[in-house]
Amino acid sequence: MTDPAPAQPVWVYVDCVCDLFHMGHVRFFEKARSFGDRLVVGLHSDADVASYKPAPILSFAERLEVVRACRLVDRVIEHPVPLHVTAAHLDSFGARYVCHADDMSPEQLDYWYGELVPVGRLKVVPYTTGISSRDIVARVAERLKAGTLRIKL
């Protein structure tokens, strides 16, 4: 009798910006990874990000290096990924699910992940509050105003 073939690992995909990588990103990766065995991360280009919010402070190449170093990440897509995630995109690298935080309305999730919603391929997790890249920028700005950083304007 032969042993059955081992089950294929379940890959979970997240698309993100990951500017000023922080513990909120780590918590998000932990939550996303809980839906499978492996985590693949795709980063949006600087230009794509700038089309809907302030441009990242770190370049795509810098963000790629930081995410690649995270032990929770099994694979990083080496080129910028599209803003809209489709089944074909997930299938192109073997991901079963895409995961996003609950900081978007159902309409926004449908806009970005449309065809994946009705077939259960979008997983939504709680947003990590208390930290964001925006918060970090605000902290730096406050410290600059207070003169408590090593640099002066």
CB atoms within 10 A of CB 78: 9
The answer to whether 4 touches 48, Cβ cutoff 8 Å, is: no
The answer to whether 99 touches 31, Cβ cutoff 8 Å, is: yes
Architecture of domain 11-128: 3-Layer(aba) Sandwich (3.40)
Query: Mind listing the pLDDT tens digit for each residue in 16-45?
Result: 999 999 999 999 999 999 999 999 999 999
Whether 6 has a pLDDT exceeding 80, the answer reads no
So where are the chain's domains? Answer: 11-128
Mean pLDDT of the chain: 94
Query: Mind listing the pLDDT tens digit for each residue in 81-117?
Result: 999 999 999 999 999 999 999 999 999 999 999 999 9
Whether 150 has a pLDDT exceeding 90, the answer reads no
